[in-house]
Amino acid sequence: MQDEIQLKLFFWIGSATMLFLALGIIFITVAYKAKVDRLNRIKSESLLIASLDSEKRERQRIASDLHDGLSGDISALKNYITILNSKEEDLFKKEILQEVSSVLSHALTNVQNISYNLMPPLLESYGLVSTLKSYFDRVKKLHTIKVKQYYFSEVIEIPSSEAYELYRIIQEFTNNMIKHGKAQEISMAISLNENTVCCEISDDGLPFDFKKNIQSSLGMGLKNISSRIKHIEAKLVQVPEQKGNKFQIILKSVKNVKNSNN
């Protein structure tokens, strides 16, 4: 009888030990996987930040080269053509020189637009609002589209890195709305609620589901938006609309945000 009790005791002790070891192995496995996932996430975030920072520096370099190099060369060449045209007496040659001058003017405008789109010069000097106003002025001229704008202040004091990413996000949305959504009107608004900045952009174009399209999209536009949203730790909300689209970029816990109108 005593031997039977001892056997049962050993059985339960052995079972408990095996169960404890199994739970321990499961716990270690789960903890290890969680650690690996966390390290991969940190690595992914670091690579994302490095990639976006590298892109910004490269944009600045190319924009500067275009503005200071190619743009200056075209302007100088256009001036030479103007001088030659003023001294030329042959009407046929004057017409040709005038055509060349017109082509150079068009090329200069294109170079300036490319340089501006790569890195808007107003962003560092005058801030986000002035840059957006200038950007939408160009959009209206290029695409004959109506743009409504509302800003709670002419000066929104947020870090330049966040202002840059917000500008790029809005630029990507605008390009998508015009190119794919065939929008005829775009509304842009930036509001402030305590220390939370909300950028809202809407249109009257073809509706699309951001989350659904980002999964199937082969282009980089929507993926760039998602990456930049993560980079500045913002939140993207698509507001349901009967017509068109409305998106909100919510930048929470913004430090030192001020309303200059107060």
Size of the chain in residues: 262
The residue range of the domain holding 107 is: 2-117
Show which of 100, 117, 134 is a domain's final residue. 117
Mean pLDDT lowest among 13-22, 117-126, 135-144, 228-237? 13-22
Residue 167 and residue 57 share a domain: no
Total-model pTM? 0.61
Residue 218 and residue 158 share a domain: yes
Name the domain count of the chain.
2
| Cα Rg of the chain, angstroms | 29
Residue 147 and residue 235 share a domain: yes
Do residues 128 and 167 lie in contact, with contact meaning Cβ atoms separated by under 8 Å?
A: yes
Residue 69 and residue 50 share a domain: yes
Look up residue 130 and give its amino acid.
Answer: S
Which residues, in sequence order, are bridge partners of residue 199? 190, 249
Calculate mean pLDDT across residues 182-205. 91
**Does residue 119 or residue 185 have the better pLDDT?**
185
On whether residue 54 sits in a domain, the answer given is: yes
With H, G, I as helix, E, B as strand and everything else as coil, classify residue 51. Answer: helix
How far apart (Å, rounded) are the C-alpha atoms in residues 134 and 224?
22
How far apart (Å, rounded) are the C-alpha atoms in residues 189 and 150?
5
With H, G, I as helix, E, B as strand and everything else as coil, classify residue 135. Answer: helix
Which residues have CB under 8 Å from 7's CB, separation 6+?
none
Q: What angle is formed at CA 119 by the lines to CA 116 and CA 125, rounded to 5 degrees?
A: 95
**CATH number of the domain that 191 lies in?**
3.30.565.10
Show which of 98, 117, 136 is a domain's final residue. 117
Residue 93 and residue 67 share a domain: yes
How far apart (Å, rounded) are the C-alpha atoms in residues 7 and 34?
40
Show which of 117, 136, 168 is a domain's final residue. 117
Residue 241: phi and psi, rounded to 5, are: -135, 145
User: The tokens of 20 are what?
Assistant: 């404890």
Q: What is the pLDDT of residues 13-65, one digit of tens each?
A: 666 666 666 676 776 666 656 665 665 555 555 555 556 566 666 666 665 65
